[in-house]
Amino acid sequence: MSVKSRYAEAVMNTFGPPKVALVRGAGAHVWDEDGHEYVDLLGGIAVNALGHGHPALVAAVTEQLQTLGHVSNFFTSPPAVELAEKLLSLTGREGRVFFTNSGTEANEAALKITRRTGRTHLVAATEAFHGRTMGSLALTAKAAYREPFEPLPGHVTFMPYGDAAALAAAVTDETAAVILEPMQGEAGVMVPPADYLAAARRITAEHGSLLWLDEIQTGMGRTGRWFAAAADPEVAPDIVTVAKGLAGGFPIGACIALGDAAFLLEPGNHGTTFGGNPPACAAALAVIGTLESEGLLERATVLGEKLRDGLRADPRVVEVRGEGLLIGLTLTEPLTAEVAAAALAAGFILNNATPDRIRLAPPFVLTDADAEAFLAAWPAILDAAYEGEK
């Protein structure tokens, strides 16, 4: 029996059936159990920054496991301290870091920080995605994700993303924090107006509220910058959460609190067994070091432009968005499921984020040849999806 067919009898059905069972990866390519090869243009949803099996990542994790694999939080280890220092230096600010194992846990830590302001009201955006645990879910807009689990904790006001006037109207002197993604990834890479995040900073400052940027998808070089907005002095958030690409696929997240917000959680306020474990931190340091030494942020900018230009050339694409290697596009018709299926059949992995919005978040090691092969196949992929509909 194939892995794919065994799945349904053993693995809980929370995701629906897997499209294929993947057994191997190298660079930006993966192979399924039947031997089919795919170009991975999704990178495990903006996670596999260095692609699959990168030697620097393999070596870092292997050496760290051979040296020291786990310590409890009664102790610390060099990789955790070094990674915290590195993340702070990338923000260009003073602060403190709390390590977790995932994005949603980074957001839970941040949510606890907001409670220590003495306020409980939170403001989040429509179409926002912040994770699936109860606190993060309370900040996630999508009704289908929320409703089966209500009541959710806290007092949250949702306002339209990208609308500074709506944000100003939602924030009061009771507001603990505003949480925003610099670009909304799960919504299909929605990009706000240029001055939106700076406006969010001004509005939160007026009310003594924290500005919390969820850079779990947009951070760690994905947009061609270390952070999409967190290092912008006009935005200067109080809290930044990162995860996904941080360790290139090794599970880790981080809640980075900056300025005075760094001291809101006190001893005993929060904890985790695995957060900040040495192999995960060593993996993150290897990813960051490789992105730096191989000039991969610049590469993301150049490759992203090339992909966006090629995608936009087809008249069935009405809009192309994003920066670096976080790419979203909208189709003339709600056919993204058909497009993703046609792409898979043609040997390319991409994501139907919504019925009419496609998302790409390929590894930074995607080659020009792979990008060109995909752009050459793109019109025929759209033909297959659009013709199937007639």
State the binding site for pyridoxal 5'-phosphate: 103-104, 129, 214-217, 273
Neighbours of 351 (CB within 10 A): 21
238 binding ligand PLP? (CB under 6 A): no
Instruction: Report d(CA 89, CA 7) in Å as an integer.
Output: 43
Residue type, 84: A
Residue type, 100: T
214 is catalytic: yes
Q: Which is nearer to ligand PLP, 145 or 386 (CB)?
A: 145
When CB distances to ligand PLP are compared, the closest residue is 103
Angle in degrees, 0-180, between the axes of helices 368-389 and 336-345, rounded to the nearest 10: 130
> Quick one: how far is CA 146 from the chain centroid?
20
214 binding ligand PLP? (CB under 6 A): yes
216 binding ligand PLP? (CB under 6 A): yes
Give min distance, CB of 239 to ligand PLP, in A: 13
232 is catalytic: no
217 binding ligand PLP? (CB under 6 A): yes
Cβ neighbours for 369, distance < 8 A, ≥ 6 positions apart: none
What the block records as the tokens of 190 is: 């929605």
Q: Near ligand PLP by CB under 6 A, which window of 27-35, 60-68, 179-187, 327-335?
A: 179-187
Residue type, 7: Y
Q: What is the DSSP string of 177-194?
A: EEEE-SSBTTTT-B---T
222 binding ligand PLP? (CB under 6 A): no
103 binding ligand PLP? (CB under 6 A): yes
What the block records as the tokens of 293 is: 């030494």
Q: In this structure, are residues 9 and 326 in contact, taking their beta carbons and an 8 Å threshold?
A: no
Q: Near ligand PLP by CB under 6 A, which window of 74-82, 99-107, 362-370, 375-383?
A: 99-107
Query: Binding residues for ligand PLP, how many (CB under 6 A)?
Result: 15
Q: Near ligand PLP by CB under 6 A, which window of 17-25, 34-42, 125-133, 262-270?
A: 125-133
Q: In this structure, are residues 339 and 374 in contact, taking their beta carbons and an 8 Å threshold?
A: no
Instruction: Report d(CA 285, CA 282) in Å as an integer.
Output: 5
Give min distance, CB of 253 to ligand PLP, in A: 6
3 state SS of 167: helix
DSSP state of 212: E
Give min distance, CB of 277 to ligand PLP, in A: 16
Give min distance, CB of 265 to ligand PLP, in A: 19
Q: Which residues are annotated as a binding site for N(2)-acetyl-L-ornithine?
A: 132, 272
- Bridge partners (DSSP) of residue 158 are 124
Q: Which is nearer to ligand PLP, 242 or 342 (CB)?
A: 242
Phi, psi for 192 (deg, rounded to 5): -80, 165
Site for ligand PLP in 21-80 (CB under 6 A): none
Site for ligand PLP in 255-284 (CB under 6 A): none
359 binding ligand PLP? (CB under 6 A): no
Q: Which residues are annotated as a binding site?
A: 103-104, 129, 132, 214-217, 272-273
Q: Near ligand PLP by CB under 6 A, which window of 96-104, 281-289, 360-368, 379-387?
A: 96-104
Q: Which of 127, 131, 136 is nearest to 154 (CA)?
A: 136
In 223-346 the beta strands, taken as DSSP E runs, fall at 239-242, 253-258, 317-323, 326-331
Binding site for ligand PLP (CB under 6 A): 102-104, 107, 129-131, 181, 185-186, 214, 216-217, 243-244
Instruction: Give catalytic residue positions.
Output: 129, 214, 244
